[in-house]
Amino acid sequence: MLQAVVPHCISSAKGDRHEYQNSMLESVETTLKQIQAKQQAEVANAQSTLADFEAKQEKAAAQLQMVEGQVAQCQEDKATKDQTQADANAAVAEATQALQLAQESEQSLGAEKDAILKDQEESQKFLTTTWEAVKSGAFSGQEWRERNKAIEASMKILDGFGLDASLKAALPTALKTKPGDRKRFSLCAVQFAEVAITTRLQKLQEKVDNFEQEAIARSQAVTAAKEVLASSEEKLQVAKAEAVSAKDALQAAVHSKAEIEKEIKASPTLLAKLQKEMEKCQGSLTLSQNSLSHFLNLKDRSSEPLPTDEVQIPAQEATA
């Protein structure tokens, strides 16, 4: 209807139009202004959307930088926590071994006591029999083979008593010599050997006397080793939990970084789309502004009438 009526209304000069024509033109002007206002709002909205997106881009870049720092820190934290867990594992292994050794030591005390008592008995028997015989020269001249065997047996036993090398070298000759014929050096050799035997017997007796206290000490060592192991295992559990937490934190930071990078990677395409939309809205606004301006020029014209075929109806009006 407007396409048919408006050319006739607007072709007349302003002062020559009747009331209906003016009414129709006012209606068209209102419609064109509404269209322009709508397109201005669309342009403003497109500009706001574009500005928001650009601000979001800047924020994403800042977030990426921050998250990259978080990833680096999380990697460092994870390495520290992993090392702490490894140290805790090593501590548990060490404490386990220490407990095992303490328990074995406690369990072996009985066998050690039996061995020391046997050693003490044999050493005492050696002192009063074989050693006494070779020391006192109890063998007759015809028993020199038995004497030599006894001296050889004595030297084997004395070899474990910590004798000085020179004493060990001189002792066999001294023992083969009759007591009355022994010179000062031989007498000293025999005397020092006997001191070594009695000293060993004293040390063995001290060990026997100390067995009860040793049993208490070894039991306490086992208790202490158990406490150390329990403490080490507790620390290991804490270290494991902290290592898992550090791993989760790193994974979260890496995931966050990947999401931000994905968003930034998609930004150019979205930005181009928003810019194109804004340009489209701006083009439509420019067209509506030109159309309204052209319409107002025709509407307010006070010159001679125009032929109706020269009147161009704005596109917005034609489709309104």
Predicted confidence band at 260 (pLDDT cuts at 50, 70, 90)? confident
| pLDDT at position 304 | 57
Together in a domain, 213 and 122 = yes
Q: Which of 234, 255, 284 is a domain's end point?
A: 234
pLDDT over 60 (residue 319) = no
Instruction: Please tell me the predicted confidence (pLDDT) of residue 72.
Output: 95
Question: Is the same domain home to 123 and 228?
Answer: yes
Give CA 86 to chain center in angstroms: 10
- Helix ranges (H only) for 129-210 are 130-136, 144-158, 165-176, 184-209
The answer to whether position 208 is within a domain reads: yes
Same domain, 7 and 51: yes
Q: Is residue 154 part of a domain?
A: yes
Tell me if 192 sits within 8 A of 167, measured CB to CB.
Answer: yes
Number of folded domains that form the chain: 2
Q: What is the pLDDT of residue 318?
A: 45
Q: Is residue 240 part of a domain?
A: no
Residue 281, C-beta contacts closer than 8 angstroms, at least 6 positions apart: 39, 42, 43, 45, 46
Cβ atoms < 10 Å from Cβ of 216: 10
Q: What are phi and psi of 314, to 5 degrees?
A: -55, 145
Closest CA to 243 of 29, 89, 100: 89
Asked whether residue 155 is domain-assigned, the answer is: yes
Asked whether residue 94 is assigned to any structural domain, the reply reads no
Residues 60 and 112 in one domain: no
Question: Which residues constitute the domain of residue 16?
Answer: 2-84+247-319
Assess whether 166 and 188 both reside in one domain: yes
Same domain, 204 and 292: no
Task: Find, among 228, 72, 94, the residue nearest to 80 by Cα.
Answer: 72
Instruction: Name the one residue in this structure whose structure tokens are 């063998």.
Output: 139
Among 174-178, 182-186, 265-269, name the one with the lowest average pLDDT.
Answer: 265-269
Give percent above pLDDT 70 in the chain: 92
pLDDT at 317 over 50: no
Angle value at C-alpha 191, between 181 and 160, nearest 5 degrees = 120
Q: Given 190, 212, 234, which residue is the final one in a domain?
A: 234
Rounded mean pLDDT, 251-272: 88
Q: What's the average model confidence in pLDDT over 113-121?
A: 92
The band of 88, judged by pLDDT with boundaries at 50, 70 and 90, is very high
In a domain, 92, yes or no: no
pLDDT tens digits along 19-52: 887 888 888 888 888 988 988 898 899 889 888 8
Cα–Cα distance between 300 and 13 in angstroms, integer? 8
Instruction: Say what the pLDDT of residue 316 is.
Output: 47
Average pLDDT, rounded, for the chain: 87
pTM of structure: 0.57
Q: Domain check: are 229 and 167 in the same one?
A: yes
Specify whether 206 is located in the same domain as 296.
no
Given 201, 234, 267, which residue is the final one in a domain?
234
Tell me if 306 is assigned to some domain. yes
Q: Taking Cα atoms as reference points, which of 306, 257, 233, 271 lies closest to residue 71?
A: 257
Q: Are both 138 and 230 inside the same structural domain?
A: yes
221, 260: one domain: no
Which CATH number do you get for residue 29? 1.10.287
Has residue 296 got a pLDDT over 80? yes
Q: Evaluate whether 287 touches 2 at the Cβ level (below 8 Å).
A: no
Same domain, 294 and 230: no
116 and 71 assigned to the same domain: no
The pLDDT, as a whole number, for residue 307 is 53
Q: pLDDT grade, residue 305 (50/70/90)? A: low
With respect to residue 242, please indicate whether it lies within any of the assigned structural domains: no
